[in-house]
Structure 1
Amino acid sequence: MQDVITTMREMIQDFHNPFLNQMFDQITHGKMLRSSMVLSIAPHNQMTIKLCAIIELIQLASLLHDDVIDESAIRRGKPSLNVQFGNKNAIMLGDALYAKAFFHLTSFPQEIAQSLSGAVCKLSNGEIYDVFLSQGFNASKEQYFLMIEEKTASLIASSAECAAILAGLESEGYLHYGKCLGIAFQIIDDILDITQSQEVLGKPSMQDFKEGKTTLPYLLLYENLPSLEAKEKLQNLCGKELSLDEKQWILDSMDQYQCIKQSQHLAQEIAKDSLSKLTSSYNPKLKEIINSMIQRSF
C-alpha cells in the first residue's frame, strides 16, 4: 500500500503546486479497499501499482466532493479538507485529482480506460441521485439500491474488472464480485452509521439521517412501523438534528422490528453471492476481503 501512496504523490507532484501538495498531505487514506482487492487479483508490478494509484485518486476526489455536498466537518476522525481549506479548494483539489487520474489512465489499454471512466460516470450519476433523494424522505428501496450501485459499487466493480484484465483473467466474474462487494460494503457502512459511536466512526452517529438520507435500516423501519402516525413521525425526523430521545426512539424501534439484523442478513447474502461467478482458482484473499468487510466495526 505504501507503494500505491508513493505513486499517488509522484503523480500529483507533476502539478508543481505547493498549495496542492499541502492539501494532499492532510488527506487520510483510510482502508484502501479497492487497492487491496486489485492487488489480490492482479500480479504485483508497476502497472498494477499505477492502476491502484489511479483508482485511489478517483476515490479521494469523489470523497472531497462528497464532503462539500454533505457539508461534512469530519472525515476519518479529522477535520475534513473543506473545513481546513474551504469548499472552493476542496472542490478544485478533487477536480485536480480526477484530471491527473484520467491523464495517467490514457497509458492503459482502451478496455481498462473505458471501464474506469464509465465507472466515474456512474459514480457521478449516483451522487446526483443521492442529493435529490436527500431532499425529502425517500421510501423506495429500489431507488436506494440504484443509488448505492451507481455511487459506491460502480468504482469497486470496475476496479475488480480492470485488475482481472491486467491479469489475463475472465473479467465478467470479477466485475460481479466487485459489484456485490460494493453494495454489501455500503449497506454495512449504513448500518454502522446507526450502531456505532462518534469515537469509533470518526464522525457523528446517525449523520446520514440528519443529512436526509434514508438508508436501508430506515427503509425497513418505515415498512414495519404499524401506524400512519409512526410513519409520519419517522418522516418528520429525517433531515433534522435529532434529540437523544428521538435517537433512542429510532434505535428502540429498529430493535423491535429487527431492522439492523435484516440489513446485516441482506449484506451477508449479497456478499456470499459475490463469489458465485468466479472459478475455483480465484485468490482466497478475495473471500477474506468479503469477510473482513462484513465483520468490521468502522
Structure 2
Amino acid sequence: MTRTEIKAVLTQAVATPNPLLQQLLNHALTGGKGLRPTLVLLCARFGMHDTLEVQQVAVAIELIHLASLVHDDVLDGATVRRNLPALHCLYGTVAAVLTGDYLFATAFGLLARSKKAVLTTVTEAIRSMCSGEIQQLTVTGPDTKAYFTYIGQKTATLFSAACRCGGILCRLKRPQQDYLAKFGWHLGLAYQVVDDYLDLFGSAAKMGKPNRQDLARGILTLPVLRLLELSPQAALWQEKISRGLTATETEELIAAARHLNCDEFTAAVAGEQIALALEALDKLPVNPAREELALLATRTLAPLEELI
C-alpha cells in the first residue's frame, strides 16, 4: 500500500454522516508519514496473511497514533500540528478530546475483528504510552535514564507493537515476532531521538510544527541532557530552563550545545539505535520486506545528514 492508499482506507474507516464530526476527523487525518501502518504492512509480508485484516490493523494503529496526537496537543497547549492549526485551536478543547476518543473507539472496532494477540499487543502499547506521559510529570531534573524510559513508552512502544502485529498476522513464530518487535523498538527510539535533535537544532518549516517547544516547556531532551552533563554552567542552565528561557538565552543554549558537540552526540545515539534495529532485522529470514524495512530504518537518519 502506498501512502495514498493508506489515507484512502483511513478515510473510509472514519466516514460518518455527521458533518461536524467528519470535519473534525478530516482535520485530524491531514498530513503525516503513515510510518506505523507501513510497518504493519511490511512485517506482514514475512508470511501468508489476510490482506484485508492486515489493512484494518494497520489503519487501527494509525488511528491510535492520531488520537494520541490530538490529545497530546491539548495537554501540551500546542498550537500547530503538521503545518496546520492544532485541532483544539480551531474547534475547542472539548471537541478535540472527543475527536481523539472517537478515533480510539474506531481503532478498537477494527482491532476487535482481528486476532486476540493483536488486540492484546496494541492494548498493552496504549497502556505503556499513557504510563510514559504520566511518568514524565514526575521527572524534575536531568536524568538520561528517565529520558530513554519515557521515549520508549511514548514512541517506541507503538512502533514495536506495529511490527509485532505484522508478525502475528502472517503467523510468524514467537521468536521471530520478538525480533520484529525489537526492530520496531529501536527504530522508535531512533525516530524520537532524531525528532528531539530536530526540535532543538532544526528548522520549524521542515518539521511542520514550531521547534524548541520541548525546551520552552522545560522538557529535557537528549541534546539538552548532554549539555547539562558536560557544561561547567550546568546549574545555571538548569535554573534558566526551569524559570523559562528568553529567546536570546535559547540561542545561547543552542550555541553552547553545539560547542560541546551535543548535536553530534545525539546524532550518534540515533545511529546506534538504528544499528540495533538492523541487528534484530538480520535475525529474520531473507525477504524483500526485510530489505524494505532496512531501507526505511536507514532513512530515519536522513534529516540529520542535512544538518551535520
Compute the TM-score of the two structures, normalised by the length of structure 2. Answer: 0.89
> Which stretch has the larger CA shift, 247-256 or 258-267?
247-256
- For the pair 1:85 / 2:91, whether they are aligned, the reply is yes
21, 32, 35: which one aligns with 2:34: 32
Following TM superposition, by how much is the alpha carbon of 1:16 offset from its aligned partner in structure 2, in angstroms? 3.6
SS of corresponding position for 1:251? helix
Aligned-partner SS, 1:214: coil
Please list every run of 5 or more consecutive structure 2 residues that lacks an aligned counterpart in the other structure: none
Structure 1 pair 75–266 and aligned structure 2 pair: CA distance change class (3 A)? same
Distance 1:12 1:240 in 2: 43
Q: How far apart in 1 are the matches of 2:154 and 2:21? A: 26
Taking structure 1 as reference, are residues 29 and 52 closer, same or farther at Cα in structure 2, changes over 3 Å only?
Answer: farther
Greater displacement, 19-28 / 213-222: 19-28
Letter in 2 for 1:29: G
Provide structure 1 residue ranges, at least 5 long, that are not aligned to the other structure. none
Give the deviation of 1:240 after TM superposition: 5.6
* Selected match of 1:287 from 274, 286, 294: 294
Q: Sequence identity of aligned pairs in percent?
A: 29
Which structure 2 residues correspond to residues 137-286 of structure 1 after superposition, within 5 A? 138-169=141-172, 170-226=176-232, 230-238=233-241, 242-277=245-280, 278-282=283-287, 283-286=290-293
Classify the secondary structure of the residue corresponding to 1:275.
helix
- 2:266 and 2:95 map into 1 onto residues whose CA distance is 37
**Counterpart-to-counterpart distance in 2, 1:47 and 1:240:** 50
Q: Does 1:19 align with 2:16?
A: no
Distance 1:185 1:75, change over 3 A: same
Name the CA distance, whole Å, in 2 between partners of 1:223 and 1:241. 19
1:108-119 matches, cutoff 5 A: 108-119=114-125
Residue 7 of structure 1 is matched in structure 2 by 9
- The answer to whether structure 1 residue 126 and structure 2 residue 127 are counterparts is no
Q: What is the RMSD of the two structures over their aligned residues, measured on CA atoms?
A: 1.8
Structure 1 Cα separation of the partners of residues 241 and 68 of structure 2:
25
SS in 1 for 2:145: helix
- Residue 72 of structure 1 corresponds to 78
Do the aligned partners of 1:57 and 1:101 also contact (CA within 8 Å) in 2?
yes
> Could you tell me how far 1:252 is from its partner in structure 2?
1.7
Counterpart amino acid of 1:36? T
**CA deviation digits over 1:225-252, x for unaligned, max 9?**
12xxx22221123256543421221112
Tell me the distance in 2 between the aligned counterparts of 1:146 and 1:180.
12
Shift of 1:179: 0.3
TM-score normalised per structure 1: 0.92
1:97-137 CA-to-partner distances (Å, cap 9, x unmatched) read 1111112211111111100111011011112123443xx4x
Deviates more, 1:121-130 or 1:235-244: 235-244
Counterpart of 2:303?
296
Matched residue of 1:26: which SS?
Answer: helix
Which sits farther off after the overlay, 182-191 or 40-49?
Answer: 40-49
Deviation by residue 1:31-54 (Cα, 9 ceiling, x = unmatched)? 111122222222482111111110
